[in-house]
């Protein structure tokens, strides 16, 4: 389902840095990125986020309304998807997960859990939180056409920016097998993010209707409902 995009831009120089640097020591590309996405203190103090989006997925005839509650500090994701064809809740809760669909709850197998856990570290807005927090586990490699981010030495995501630092694309594969292009930047409270994201070929696209940084997730339960 994923379309492959090959960047032909050659990489001439790269720069390695880490999240422990103070703002004054950060490279200009990182500073520009953080200035573009809004209030750095808001990113630093947030525990997670809520997002509402309208998603087009090729396997569904109609768009999906999707809501997310995602924890920045632990691998916890709640995704609620609704349209006339689907009413589903998917939840990753650290080392386990579950799905509620058609009033039936099923536990995830190890493959499903690992799939969501591999996605979580490189969520772009989580990366902004880690940069703002000077997280010692985060490192980055600055190349001509993108910034590559690593956590504990493992690749998690790359982000491309325009000359002003605005994010214009990101991907979770070094060979660009999964590339998301990003639209116009808009304010969402104290921060600024893209209005839309899409893949080439029209297989997937989302319109962001709301984004809120959350100071706490204490009112969100990721636990699997009991029978």
* pTM metric for this prediction: 0.87
Strands of the chain, DSSP E:
15-18, 48-57, 64-71, 76-83, 86-93, 96-101, 104-107, 138-142, 147-151, 154-161, 167-171, 179-182, 185-188, 191-194, 196-198, 204-214
Give me the CATH topology for the region 15-214.
Answer: outer membrane lipoprotein receptor (LolB), chain A (2.50.20)
Q: What is the pLDDT along the chain (227 residues), one digit of tens a residue?
A: 333 332 322 322 333 455 444 455 899 999 999 999 999 999 999 999 999 999 988 777 788 999 999 999 999 999 999 988 789 999 999 999 999 998 899 999 999 999 999 999 999 999 999 999 999 999 999 999 999 999 999 999 999 999 999 999 999 876 666 799 999 999 999 999 999 999 887 778 999 999 999 999 999 999 998 76
């Amino acid at each position: 389902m994923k379309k492959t995009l090959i960047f032909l831009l050659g990489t001439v120089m790269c720069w390695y840095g880490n999240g422990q640097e103070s703002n004054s020591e950060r490279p200009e590309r990182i500073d520009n990125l953080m200035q573009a996405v809004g209030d750095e203190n808001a990113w630093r103090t947030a525990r997670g986020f809520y997002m509402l989006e309208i998603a087009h997925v090729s396997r569904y005839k109609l768009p999906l309304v999707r809501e997310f509650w995602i924890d920045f500090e632990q691998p916890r994701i709640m995704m609620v998807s609704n349209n006339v064809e689907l009413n589903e809740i998917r939840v990753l809760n650290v080392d386990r997960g579950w799905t509620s669909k058609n009033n039936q709850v099923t536990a995830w197998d190890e493959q499903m859990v690992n799939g969501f856990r591999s996605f979580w570290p490189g969520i772009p807005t989580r990366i902004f939180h880690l940069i703002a927090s000077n997280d010692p586990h985060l490192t980055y490699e600055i190349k001509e056409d993108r910034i590559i981010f690593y956590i504990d030495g493992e690749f998690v995501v790359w982000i491309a920016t325009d000359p002003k630092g605005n994010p214009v694309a990101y991907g979770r594969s070094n060979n660009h097998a999964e590339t998301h292009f990003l639209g116009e930047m808009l304010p969402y409270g104290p921060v600024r993010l893209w209005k839309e994201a899409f893949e080439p070929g029209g297989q997937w696209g989302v319109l962001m209707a709301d984004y809120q940084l959350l100071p706490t997730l204490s009112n969100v339960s990721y636990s699997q409902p009991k029978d």
